[in-house]
């Protein structure tokens, strides 16, 4: 109890709490659906394809248009431009001729009530000519239906290594399934027409990418980008599902707003949202690996096939990240890695926490387990033998050196702190005695590259405004989806001036204040936007510091104010930093050692700066340094740094049902020097539990005609409280060696997700130890029926 009290006192709640924690709990947080209805506002819904592949022979909307309460029904011919896409504009907003998946939008309905919307949907007459369709990666491979260009990463001489007959060889394939985002707030947008020197739109969207909303909406309805402002206050979750696909629904609502000159609101029903939107990409990987008798991997040949669905969306970037992460934490001197995107008649799969990284990592972790079975060795030893090292064996297949490598230390720490070897022996005894249950234990690592793989997206901007009462507003391109990025930005700015966090307000994200921003994705939201906010805040602090020197030295200071901060994050403020100190709302002048310090309150200094006509606003721009990648050569330095971690998980399986229970999970992560430790621990736990669902219970079921059957909370099983490990610990190690990022921190949004593979590996371990099998083909998710078959 005393330890707990001591810990409570050590945490500054104003710094550790999520910025919207109180309003979330009290129900006062406003989401799109909570915005008050305006006079004349219309509700919008989508009439979509009931077929996975069909040609439209007849579409009659006249009867629907004539219904009471229906303000309009619109089709593709009403759009100024119909094609959109985050990489390639290949997807129609509204189908004109051929439907390619169940749930693809055909018409947009605007009405004054939900009842009128539903009546209109039933009144639309649609006649289709059914066309052949396929829904699996295997069918796409057989029919050679692919999207985009193949991707490749290669190093060394794989052919030469495989020619060595003394080495062990292993061939196999691994499948990982899709996953529904299941954000709390469905796809939602409200669009307000406005007349400010010409037609314009104000778009409020639940989106991770306001700039893309702005661009897609403007293109769709025939406006210029300066006529569209997108504002994102917050989202009720995103997980990647609102990085690109929110744009589709925003454009449909905008069409109504423009055509009828009335506010238009679309909030999808949960079942429709799940049926109409893409998921995590399923992957099928065929591989061949060569290794020595110690288990050291010498060469890997792998061909990755990603299920892209019907259109490109973000699939090329996701496939590329899967190739970048198939090595995970292991040095592979010779590698030949190829990838293709498969076309299937399903909704276009899209970004999801990890962005292809988990699908790549799952392959190598499964290979490690197979090698351990073949050689009859402990899997942890195989992992440690292959782990990236500090001064050698530290270059990835794409040519980047793994700098600031904490992996060997993390392995040593988790092995000790989790009592791995002792528990292994106890589990072996338990499995010999128990006739009803079998247990398994495994440790898996993560090495997750931080930066957008598309170099151009690694940029961000911030606007900081300081007011005469000593308070500040901050605007950036970051969007808040529950991860706490606003709280981190607030802390960075508050710390710059040594103020309480209550003095800083982070404003809703708007394309009006921060143009041309990147999506809040790739775990880079805090990195990019905190960096830009810091630079803007430091620019103002420099001006104030020079003002203070003028004040303290009766205007004799030779320093000039208004200097622009350096691009580098290690901002050296030279004399200003050494002589002027900002501390808890007071500004001090340290004239010389031992002399009495002079001071002025922060608020007084700000007022003085205003009277002296000093600029109290600053805009800053940050671009991630040191990154590049040659797509043709498959070599480069695509990541600024790596976030690393390890997890040890123990599971228990019911021999008669195949039901899995996670008994214990221990996580240790390297997050550098966290900006907000408590929020980061929350991100780790949330990512791990979400990953736990991916590897155990979350499965997408489709009918033979491509209809998603698991399209509601009653048919799709996300983890509940009983699925959380009974004993769950999270530890952050000290790492002051990361100097590349703001505050020396490391990103945390996606990297913990793949640690769920420790649960999958533990399930494998339990099955192989419980059934004495020497080879196991198990897919993700590890379904109870598959586990039961493997045990028997």
Query: Which residues form the catalytic set?
Result: 750
Quick one: DSSP state of residue 113? S
* Among 248, 244, 448, CA closest to 349: 244
Q: 651 CB contacts (<8 Å, ≥6 apart)?
A: 439, 440, 441, 660, 661, 662, 663, 759, 762, 763, 766
For residue 601, the surrounding DSSP H or E stretch is: strand 598-601
Q: How far is it, in rounded angstroms, from Cα 367 to Cα 326?
A: 11
CA angle 173, 174, 176 (to 5 degrees): 155
Q: Give 8: exposed, middle or buried? Use CB within 10 Å, 0-12, 13-18, 19+.
A: exposed
Q: 716 CB contacts (<8 Å, ≥6 apart)?
A: 180, 182, 274, 698, 700, 710
Q: Judge whether 116 and 67 are in contact, CB under 8 Å.
A: yes
Q: How far is it, in rounded angstroms, from Cα 102 to Cα 356?
A: 24
Q: How far is it, in rounded angstroms, from Cα 202 to Cα 233?
A: 13
Q: 7 CB contacts (<8 Å, ≥6 apart)?
A: none
DSSP string, 171-202: EEEEEE-------SS-SEEEEEEEESSSEEEE
Q: Which tokens is 71 given?
A: 């303000």
Q: How far is it, in rounded angstroms, from Cα 231 to Cα 162?
A: 55
Q: How far is it, in rounded angstroms, from Cα 722 to Cα 468?
A: 52
Q: Give 587: exposed, middle or buried? Use CB within 10 Å, 0-12, 13-18, 19+.
A: buried
Q: How far is it, in rounded angstroms, from Cα 650 to Cα 763?
A: 8
Counting Cα atoms < 13 Å in the Cβ hemisphere of 395 gives 13
Q: Give 156: exposed, middle or buried? Use CB within 10 Å, 0-12, 13-18, 19+.
A: middle
Q: 420 CB contacts (<8 Å, ≥6 apart)?
A: 380, 414, 441, 443, 648
Radius of gyration of the chain (CA): 28
Strand order in the sheet with 168-176: 146-155, 334-343, 297-309, 283-291, 168-176
Q: Give 616: exposed, middle or buried? Use CB within 10 Å, 0-12, 13-18, 19+.
A: middle
Q: Judge whether 174 and 782 are in contact, CB under 8 Å.
A: no
- The 10 Å Cβ neighbour count of residue 788 is 17
Q: Judge whether 186 and 267 are in contact, CB under 8 Å.
A: yes
Q: How far is it, in rounded angstroms, from Cα 752 to Cα 647?
A: 9
Quick one: DSSP state of residue 235? -
Q: Give 592: exposed, middle or buried? Use CB within 10 Å, 0-12, 13-18, 19+.
A: exposed
Buried residues in 280-297 as b, exposed as e (16+ CB within 10 A): bbbbbbbbbbbbeeebbb
Quick one: DSSP state of residue 350? -
* Among 353, 279, 289, CA closest to 326: 289
Tokens 């909303």 map to which residue? 213
């Amino acid at each position: 109890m005393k330890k707990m009290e001591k810990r409570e006192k050590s945490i500054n709640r104003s710094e550790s709490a999520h910025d919207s924690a109180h309003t979330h709990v009290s129900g006062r947080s406003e989401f799109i659906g909570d915005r008050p209805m305006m006079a004349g506002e219309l509700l919008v819904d989508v009439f979509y394809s009931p077929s996975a592949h069909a040609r439209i022979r007849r579409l009659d909307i006249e009867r629907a248009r004539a219904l009471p309460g229906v303000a309009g029904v619109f089709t593709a011919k009403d759009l100024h431009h119909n094609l959109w896409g985050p990489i390639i504009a290949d997807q129609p907003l509204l189908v004109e001729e051929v439907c390619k998946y169940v749930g693809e939008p055909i018409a947009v309905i605007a009405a004054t009530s939900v009842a009128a919307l539903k009546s209109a949907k039933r009144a639309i007459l649609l006649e289709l000519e059914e066309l052949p369709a396929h829904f699996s990666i295997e069918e796409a491979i057989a029919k050679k239906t692919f999207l985009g260009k193949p991707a490749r990463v290669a190093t060394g001489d794989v052919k030469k290594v495989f020619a060595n007959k003394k080495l062990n060889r292993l061939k196999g394939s691994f499948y990982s399934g899709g996953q529904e985002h299941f954000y709390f707030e469905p796809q939602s947008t409200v669009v307000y027409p406005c007349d400010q020197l010409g037609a314009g739109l104000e778009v409020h969207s639940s989106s991770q990418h306001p700039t893309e909303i702005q661009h897609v909406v403007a293109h769709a309805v025939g406006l210029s980008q300066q006529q569209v402002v997108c504002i994102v206050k917050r989202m009720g979750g995103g997980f990647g599902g609102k990085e690109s696909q929110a744009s589709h629904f925003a454009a449909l609502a905008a069409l109504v707003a423009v055509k009828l000159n009335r506010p238009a609101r679309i909030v999808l029903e949960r079942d429709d949202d799940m049926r109409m939107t893409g998921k995590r990409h399923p992957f099928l990987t065929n591989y061949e690996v060569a290794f020595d008798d110690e288990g050291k991997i010498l060469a890997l040949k792998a061909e990755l096939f990603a299920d892209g669905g019907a259109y490109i969306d973000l699939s090329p970037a996701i496939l590329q990240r899967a190739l970048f992460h198939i090595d995970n934490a292991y040095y592979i001197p010779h590698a030949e890695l190829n990838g293709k995107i498969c076309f299937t008649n399903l909704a276009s799969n899209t970004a999801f926490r990890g962005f292809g990284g988990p699908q790549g990592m799952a392959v190598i972790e499964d290979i490690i387990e197979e090698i351990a079975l073949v050689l009859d060795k402990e899997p942890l030893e195989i992992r440690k033998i292959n782990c990236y090292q500090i001064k050698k064996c530290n270059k990835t297949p794409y040519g980047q050196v793994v700098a600031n490598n904490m992996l060997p230390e993390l392995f040593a720490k988790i092995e000790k702190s989790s009592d791995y070897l002792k528990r292994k022996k106890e589990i072996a005894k338990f499995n010999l005695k128990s006739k009803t249950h079998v247990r398994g234990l495994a440790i898996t690592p993560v090495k997750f590259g931080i930066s957008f793989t598309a170099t151009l997206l690694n940029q961000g901007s911030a606007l900081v405004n300081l007011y005469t009462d000593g308070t500040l507003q901050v605007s950036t391109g970051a969007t808040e989806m529950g991860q706490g990025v606003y709280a981190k930005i607030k802390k960075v700015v508050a710390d710059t001036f040594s103020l309480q966090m209550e003095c800083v307000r982070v404003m809703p994200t708007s394309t009006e204040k921060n143009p041309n921003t990147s999506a809040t994705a790739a775990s880079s939201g805090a990195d990019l936007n905190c960096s830009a906010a810091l630079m803007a805040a430091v620019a103002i602090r420099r001006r104030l510091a020079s003002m203070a020197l003028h004040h303290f030295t009766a205007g004799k200071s030779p320093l000039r104010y208004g200097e622009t901060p350096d691009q580098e994050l290690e901002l050296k403020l030279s004399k200003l930093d050494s002589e002027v100190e900002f501390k808890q709302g007071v500004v001090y002048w340290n004239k010389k050692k031992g002399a009495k310090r002079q001071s002025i309150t922060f608020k007084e200094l700000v007022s003085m700066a205003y009277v002296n006509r000093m600029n109290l606003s600053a805009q800053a721009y940050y671009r991630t340094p040191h990154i590049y990648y040659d797509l043709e050569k498959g070599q480069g330095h695509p990541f600024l740094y790596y976030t690393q971690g390890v997890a040890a998980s123990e599971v228990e399986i019911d021999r008669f049902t195949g039901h899995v229970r996670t008994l214990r999970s221990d996580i240790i992560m390297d997050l550098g020097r966290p900006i907000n430790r408590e929020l980061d621990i929350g991100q780790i736990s949330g990512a791990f539990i979400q990953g736990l669902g991916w590897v155990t219970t979350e499965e997408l079921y489709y009918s033979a005609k491509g209809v998603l059957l698991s399209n509601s909370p009653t048919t799709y099983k996300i983890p509940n409280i009983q699925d959380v490990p009974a004993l769950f610990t999270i530890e952050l190690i000290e790492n002051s060696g990361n100097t590349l990022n703001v505050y020396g921190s490391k990103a945390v949004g996606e990297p913990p997700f793949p640690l769920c593979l420790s649960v999958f590996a533990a399930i494998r371990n339990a099955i192989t130890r419980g059934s004495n099998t020497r080879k196991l083909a198990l897919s993700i998710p590890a379904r109870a029926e598959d586990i039961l078959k493997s045990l028997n």
